[in-house]
Structure formats: C-alpha cells, structure tokens
Amino acid sequence: MESYQIAKLSNGLRIIHQYTPNKVAYCGLIIGVGSRDEQAGEHGLAHFLEHVFFKGTKKRNATQILRRMDEVGGELNAYTTKEETCVYSTFLAKDYPRAIELLADLICNSTFPERELEREKQVVIDEIYSYMDNPSEAILDDFEEAIFRGYPIGRKILGSAESVKGLTRSDILSFIERNYTADRMVLSSVGNIRFEKLVALVEKFFNGVSSEASPIKRIAPINYEPIQVHNPEELAQCYYMTGNRAFNQKEHERVALSLLVEMLGGNSMGSRLNLRLREKNGLVYEIESNYTPYSDSGVFSVYFACDSHNLERCIRLCHEEMSKLSEKSLTPLKLERFKAQYKAQMAIASENYEGSMLSIGKSLLVYDKVDELDRIYEKIDALTPDDLRNAAEKVFDPRKLSSVTYGV
C-alpha cells in the first residue's frame, strides 16, 4: 500500500503520511542535521543530543518521558547519522495524540538538566568503548575516517571520550538554535489516522519550532587518495574492509550502483561474494557489500572477517568479483533476473512499516518528494548492462580502493 499525503506548515515543517488500516502506527521527526554539521569543540554533540532529549522537559522528568509511551505499550527511540537525527515512536493508532505531543515536547521543551548531562556523558562514553571493543562495528568508522580524512564527514558519529567529556549545556543550546529549525524537519507517519487530523495535531504541538530558515552549509569532501590502514591488534580473526568514495544522493548513477552492490554482496545468500567466499570455498562466515549515499559524496564498501592465513586469498577473490562487473557487461538475461530479485526485495522491505516511515521521511527531507514504488521500479527497469558496467568501472577501480585491516 502506498499513496503518500504531504503538507507543509506555515513555519516550514513538512509532514508526510501513509495511511494503513493497521492497529499499530509509526511516527517520527527526522531532522537534517548530523555529526558532520558539528563545529570545532562540538565533536560527538549531535549524537549526545539524541541521548539527552530524553532527560527532562519543562513538563516531564526523565522517568516520566520514558513511561509516557511505555505505559500504553508503545516504544520511543532515536538515532543519529552523519547527516540526520531522528526521534520516533511505535504505538497503537489510537495513541497518535500522545505520541506526537511527546515528540514535540522533547524537541521544543527539553531543559537539559546539568546533573543529567553529566550522568549521560558516562553512558555515551561506555557506548564509545563498546564500539571500540567490537571490530565489526569500529572498522566502518575507521574506514570512513580514512577515505574522508581531513573533512568533517569523516569524523566518528559518537565522538571520543575526551570530546564528549568537554561538551556543555551551552554547546547544546547553541547547536539547537543553529540547526533545529522547521525547514530542516520532516514529521513522517505511517498508520491509521486521517491526514487532516494528523496535520492538526502536528500544527498544534510543533508551533514552537523556529520558522527561521537555516540553510545547510557543509564542507564537501574533494581531494581523495586511496589509503591502506593496518591495525596490528591481536584478534582471533582478521577483519577487513575495502571500498571507495561513491555517488552522492543526487547523482543518477546511484541507482545502478545500488543494484550492483546488492548483486555483489547484498542481503541475498546468492550474492556473488557470498557464493564465492563462503559457499564455494568456506573462507568466511559473513561477507557483505554496502553503499551509503550522502548529500555530496557516498561510500561503497566490502566487509568480511576471516582467519589470518586466508586473508590474502579472500582479498583476491573479492577483487576478482568486482573486476568481473567492471570489465564485462552482464547479459540482458542475467540483468533482468537481478532486477526482478532487487524489486522483490524492495517490495518486501516496504511491508516493514517502521522502515517505510523512516524511508519516506528521509526521502522528503532530501529530495522534497517521495517516489511511489512503481516509479522506483521504472528507474530500475531502465538500467542497461552498460549502465552497470560504467558505474562499476568508476567505483570498483582497484587503483582507487582504500582498505582497513584489523589483526595483521
């Protein structure tokens, strides 16, 4: 089920809604600001802010905030990326007013008590250490830091223990004033509520959001030289990631690359890398490829873990599979089969209503529109074998690949 309804409030906040007749509803506020928008001395602030929104408002303390959705069986959550922050909730559709009022209270009325800030710093520092102790998590941070070295987009989202300790309440208020304006916000909803009622609720509770436009000013990563990073830390396995900068959110080649990456090492057990390294050779337990487009760049990566004596062989097999896609076009028959598989996976993903709520909200935030699934299918169907090969030549070029290795 699709068909989205969109509205824009007088203060600039946009609303998107997908009606479903289900008992469970999903609603979130997506804000176009993330870790790359931090200034000097603010490293880790975007993510820290995500935590401390839950620590007290003008009308609720931290416990009351957590219980507000919990006592009606709902859930409240948040996340931060390099370019966006989101606070969202899952609840029974009858509780739409409660959920939207709470989201607005967190964003518009948080007080950031000093005692709570100091306590939450330790929580975030523990989260940072947890990432550092998990090579499969830390390696992506180190990889993006390597390929975007010298640019804010390359900084770790969580910040460092030292930078988090130095954050102040004044830093938080300044960051909010600079970035949390209505033109950068989208209220996304999937659930059983009339659109007119949803708009009225958002208008009622979010009227305190600043209407002053706050254009995003970001430093685009320009210079790039491939780099190989080796961490000799003693580990039970080797962890390896390789990849390149890739197409941004507005470049048309992103569609071809998305399909390529799915074929190469996506969710399917029949992906080329999974078949070659795991099924045929038994070299790895998990191998995957990913593509993340940003506003002015993107990241393509391949990740796996293996025994140290198999590392060079695994790397060689990965390069062979990438080279095949770069050097020779797929036959039309193979391409059609991969297109059908990819479209089916998109259809299945669209049945995940929480994921759909986040996806349509982000799409409206970035593109100021949302394509129906049929329109996305048209873009996929229009891809030719040469389109995929050309994208592969640009992104899979072995001369441009960087890598990070743990445990060597």
CATH number at residue 280: 3.30.830.10
Kindly state whether residues 171 and 257 are assigned to the same domain: no
Q: How many domains does the chain have?
A: 2
**Assigned domain for 222 exists:** no
The contacts found for 64-69 with CB under 8 angstroms, 24 or more apart, are 65/102, 65/105, 65/106, 68/98, 68/102, 69/95, 69/98, 69/99, 69/102
Asked whether the beta carbons of 178 and 216 are under 8 A apart, the reply is: no
> How many helices, marked H, and strands, marked E, lie in the chain?
15, 11
Kindly state whether residues 201 and 232 are assigned to the same domain: no
**Assigned domain for 126 exists:** yes
Residue 296: the pLDDT is 96
Kindly state whether residues 247 and 316 are assigned to the same domain: yes
CA distance 265 to 274: 6
Q: What is the value of pTM for the model shown?
A: 0.94
Kindly state whether residues 192 and 142 are assigned to the same domain: yes
Residue 213: the pLDDT is 80
**Assigned domain for 30 exists:** yes
- SS3 category, 237: coil
Spans of the chain, pLDDT less than 50? none
Give the domain range for residue 176.
4-205
- Give the pLDDT confidence of 179-223 residue by residue, as tens digits: 999 999 999 999 999 999 999 999 999 988 888 887 888 999 999
Residue 1: the pLDDT is 53
Kindly state whether residues 77 and 138 are assigned to the same domain: yes
Kindly state whether residues 10 and 157 are assigned to the same domain: yes
Kindly state whether residues 199 and 235 are assigned to the same domain: no
Residue 2: the pLDDT is 64
- Give the pLDDT confidence of 357-393 residue by residue, as tens digits: 999 999 999 999 999 999 999 999 999 999 999 999 9
Kindly state whether residues 244 and 199 are assigned to the same domain: no
Asked whether the beta carbons of 24 and 92 are under 8 A apart, the reply is: yes
Kindly state whether residues 242 and 388 are assigned to the same domain: yes
Characterize 232-255 residue by residue with b for buried, 16 or more Cβ atoms within 10 angstroms of its Cβ, and e for exposed. Answer: eeeeebbbbbbbbbbbebeeebbb
Residue 301: the pLDDT is 98
Kindly state whether residues 11 and 157 are assigned to the same domain: yes
Kindly state whether residues 155 and 239 are assigned to the same domain: no
